[in-house]
Amino acid sequence: MKKLNQEIHHLPRPDQPHKDWESVPTQPLCVGAKVVLEKNLWFEGRLLNGSIGEVLEIKYVNDSPAPGELPEYVLVKFDNFMGLELYPSGTLAGVPIVPILGEKKGEKSKKPKMVRYIPLRGAYGITVHKTQSLTLPKAAIFLDDREIFSGMDFVSFSRVKRLEDIAILDSNICTSRLVYDNDYVNGFFQIQLAEQERLEALAAL
C-alpha cells in the first residue's frame, strides 16, 4: 500500500480476537488498495463474501477523525458488481460499504458480543476458500506440501481462464499431485459422480 502514495488509514477491527480495547486489531486501508469483501451483503448484486474490488474513497463524518473512529463508508469499485446503480460521491461512483454489526470472534461467553466494523480486508493475498466463484485475470498460487481437502488444487487453478495466467510459487511440487493417475481412486469424487448420476436420473422422470 505504501507504493500507492496515499494516506493509509488504520480501521479498527473489534470483531477480531483481542483482550481489551487498547489492543483492538486494525486493518490498514488506503485509496487504490485492492480489497476483498468478508460478508454476503447482496446476493443479486453479487456483493458476496470473497468479492474483490478497489478502494475509491474513505469517507469520515469529520474531516479530522478521532483515533479508532470508523469511516462513514468506504467507496469500492467491485469487479463483478451487478447492481443497476452506483453511489455517486463527487466525481466518483462505486459501492459504499458501511459499518455493520458482527460477532466478536474468540468470545467464550454464551451471548456473543456484537461490534461494528467495516467488512473489508486487503486482497493482495487471499485463501482459496475466498476465491470460490471468482474469475481472476491472473493468479499466483502457493500450493504448500499437500491439499487440505480433495479438489482444492483444482479450485486454485480454475480461477483463471488460461494456463499462462497462473504462477505457482512453490519451488518443488510432487509430480503425482498435478498428473492424473488412472490407478488412483478418489473416494470423494466417486461419491460426487454417483450423486450426479442419481440427480440426472430423477430429472429424466
The pLDDT score that the predictor gives to residue 200 is 86
pLDDT in tens, 191-205: 777 888 888 888 877
The pLDDT score that the predictor gives to residue 180 is 59
Task: Indicate the domain borders of the chain.
Answer: 2-124, 127-205
Q: Is 68 left (phi over 0), alpha (psi -120 to 50) or beta?
A: left
Q: Which residues of the chain have pLDDT under 50?
A: none
Could you tell me the pTM of the whole model? 0.68
Rounded CA separation 89/99 (Å):
18
Are 147 and 121 spatial neighbours (Cβ–Cβ below 8 Å)? Answer: no
The pLDDT score that the predictor gives to residue 70 is 92
The pLDDT score that the predictor gives to residue 38 is 86
The pLDDT score that the predictor gives to residue 32 is 94
